[in-house]
């Protein structure tokens, strides 16, 4: 963890004295970000009402990237890459990745537009879009696939979201996110640690960007960057550095309460949020290559992974995205 820098400019957050902010640099298609979801869920619950959380989409795959000369070989390689990452994060992953996302911009636009419908809608949209890649194996990398993935999602006006995702203000906001993700703060550039994320920035064709995901904490005690996949202990240490006036401790919730709040739980979600491994009694279990995913019954009713299985059993109907 890079030491805080009290002399650096700091953003204003929503703490008692207006000084705590957490900026999350992420991408819907990033496997490390998918594996970090349980820790981030715990942190959002821990900091609710005491810090402002802002999400920045880094666009891991972009529309102008050169296409792979052999898409099948690229998909096979990336599938192995996701499986390797899952061994670190214990996150579920699809039994078969059908293609590598051509671009993560449509999903980022949808996730950004969802923020207009409130924090809960934004979380549900981003989670569902992540699961198209890491549970279904069919990335939502076009506007049409995004709409198909989100159809029926509880608590989200999908028609409104689809209309607003293409609005100039949303497009401009994602464009600003792309630029911000490629202008890392010095604390991220200086970050060095053991493990799979040894540095805080990644080289690109035109410079550098944040390692995804990265959290940047700002508060009265300074600023701390925590790039890559990090432990909850490292994140809470960062919080205590930038805001030492608070006790940053989480209270576990029961499995049913966690399912009602989050609608979709992995094994690591259960462990961090509930303090145990007992799945919710009412959950619908979905098997993946990396362990089960538990869905709220309302979530399961429209989830593309279950809808796709139904289509496979029905003669004459095609699978989602193919």
Q: Which residues contact 176 (CB under 8 A, 6 or more apart)?
A: none
List the structure tokens of 309.
């299985």
Whether residue 83 has a cis bond before it, omega within 30° of 0 = no
| Distance separating alpha carbons of residues 36 and 276, to the nearest angstrom | 18
Collapsed DSSP state (helix, strand, coil) of residue 268: helix
pLDDT, one tens digit per residue, over 243-265 is 998 889 888 999 999 999 999 99
The angle formed by the CA atoms of residues 239, 242 and 244, to the nearest 5 degrees, is: 80
pLDDT, one tens digit per residue, over 289-311 is 999 999 999 999 999 999 766 55
Q: Indicate the pairing of strand 264-266 with strand 293-295.
A: antiparallel
| Distance separating alpha carbons of residues 321 and 311, to the nearest angstrom | 12
Q: What is the pLDDT along the chain (322 residues), one digit of tens a residue?
A: 544 443 332 333 334 455 899 999 999 999 999 999 999 999 999 999 999 999 999 999 997 777 788 999 999 999 999 999 999 999 999 999 999 999 999 999 999 999 999 999 999 999 999 999 999 999 999 999 999 999 999 999 999 999 999 999 999 999 999 999 999 999 999 999 988 888 999 999 889 999 999 999 999 999 999 999 999 999 999 999 999 988 898 889 999 999 999 999 999 999 999 999 999 999 999 999 999 999 999 999 999 999 766 554 444 332 222 2
Contact by Cβ (8 Å): 45, 16: no
Q: Rounded to the nearest 10 degrees, what angle do helices 232-242 and 31-47 cross at?
A: 50
Q: Residue 43: what are its φ and ψ, rounded to 5°? A: -65, -40
Domains of the chain: 20-251 (3.40.30.10)
Collapsed DSSP state (helix, strand, coil) of residue 28: coil
Start-to-end CA distance of the chain, whole Å, equals 43
Q: Indicate the pairing of strand 52-57 with strand 21-26.
A: parallel
226 vs 22, 210, 278, CA distance in Å? 11, 10, 30
């Amino acid at each position: 963890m890079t030491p805080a820098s009290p002399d650096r400019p700091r953003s204003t957050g929503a703490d008692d004295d207006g000084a705590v902010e957490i900026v999350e640099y992420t991408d819907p298609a990033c496997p490390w970000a998918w594996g970090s979801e349980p820790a981030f869920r715990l942190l959002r619950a821990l900091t609710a009402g005491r810090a402002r959380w802002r999400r920045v989409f880094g666009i891991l795959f972009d529309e102008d990237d050169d296409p792979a000369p052999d898409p099948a070989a690229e998909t096979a390689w990336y599938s192995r890459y996701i499986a390797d990452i899952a061994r670190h994060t214990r996150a579920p992953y699809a039994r078969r990745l059908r293609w590598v996302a051509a671009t993560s911009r449509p999903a980022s636009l949808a996730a950004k537009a969802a923020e207009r419908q409130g924090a809960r809608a934004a979380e549900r949209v981003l989670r569902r879009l992540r699961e198209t890649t890491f549970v279904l194996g069919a990335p939502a990398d076009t506007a049409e696939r995004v709409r198909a993935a989100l159809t029926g999602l509880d608590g989200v006006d999908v028609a409104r979201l689809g209309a607003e995702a293409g609005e100039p203000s949303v497009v401009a906001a994602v464009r600003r996110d792309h630029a911000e993700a490629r202008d890392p703060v010095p604390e991220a550039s200086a970050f060095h640690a053991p493990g799979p994320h040894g540095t805080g920035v990644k080289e690109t064709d035109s410079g550098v960007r944040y390692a995804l995901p990265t959290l940047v904490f700002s508060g009265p005690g300074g600023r701390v960057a925590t790039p890559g996949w990090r432990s909850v202990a490292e994140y809470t240490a960062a919080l205590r550095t930038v805001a030492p006036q608070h006790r940053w401790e989480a209270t576990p919730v029961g499995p049913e309460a966690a399912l009602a709040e989050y609608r979709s739980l992995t094994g690591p979600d259960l462990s961090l949020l509930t303090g145990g491994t007992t799945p919710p009694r009412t959950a619908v279990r979905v098997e993946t290559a990396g362990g089960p995913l538990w869905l709220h019954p309302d979530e399961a009713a429209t989830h593309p992974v279950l809808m796709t299985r139904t289509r496979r059993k029905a003669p004459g109907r095609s699978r989602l995205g193919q």
